[in-house]
Amino acid sequence: MQKRARTLLVWLHVVTSVGWLSQAVALLALVLYGMKTGDLDAFRMARYLDHEVLAIMANTSAFSGFMLSATTPWGYFRHWWVLAKFVITVSQLYIGIFILSGNLQEAVNGHVTAWMPVGTSLMIGAIAFQAWLSVAKPWRRTPWADSKVKLPTASTATFVVALIIPVIDFAISLWMGNPMPLLMLITVIGYSIRRAARARRRSSAASGRGSAAGPARRDATAPSPR
């Protein structure tokens, strides 16, 4: 059951990542068409696509990816390729929410900037690069990876919750009229903090056992006073 739930979370991550990429390509096409023809309806369509579809795909893709790192032995900071995906995803969300969406709204009002196709193209390239990272898994472990401690895989219930949370946030978004990944954000931060605390306790326990075991072994091999 645990494996099936984890597989479903992987499936959700793949589907939403592909959706994010495809919507970014469609967004670029609309932006380029609007800049070429001066048709403000193209920017309105791009704004609607970004607000109603791409944002949901991006938020769910990011959430499922973060949860897969947090609920499996991969972790966030144990492998360079995972850390690279983490940094790229956070950067994309920031740029998309605070820069690209604002520029699209300005374009609807007639203020078009050349940074829109540039930013959208960078988004497409970043998602494609992340897909390659997921397949190739290049590079070695980071210096922060403790080889003595292997992070466990989360319980079935945790994976089920990770599958349900995006659905709840989607329902809230429909009700509020805006993308609201509130529960996803709370879940990622809360679970990551809890898991990091557990990992530190395991690392401390492993170090304590090692230091306590050393003298015992030396005493056992010491020569008899007789």
pLDDT on residue 95:
83
Q: Residue 141 forms beta bridges with which residues? A: 79
Give residue limits of the domains in the chain. Answer: 1-142+155-199
- Interior/surface letters 7-39, b for 16+ CB within 10 angstroms, e for the rest: eebbebbeebbebbbebbebbbebbbbbbeeee
pLDDT on residue 223:
40
Helices 2-37 and 115-136: angle between axes, nearest 10 degrees: 150
pLDDT on residue 218:
42
The answer to whether 56 and 170 have CB atoms below 8 angstroms apart is yes
The answer to whether 86 and 52 have CB atoms below 8 angstroms apart is no
Beta-carbon contacts of 88 under 8 Å, excluding residues fewer than 6 positions away, are 126, 129, 130
pLDDT on residue 208:
63
Mean pLDDT by groups of 10 residues along the chain of 226 residues? 91 96 95 93 94 92 94 90 94 84 87 87 94 93 78 89 94 84 91 81 65 44 39
pLDDT on residue 150:
74
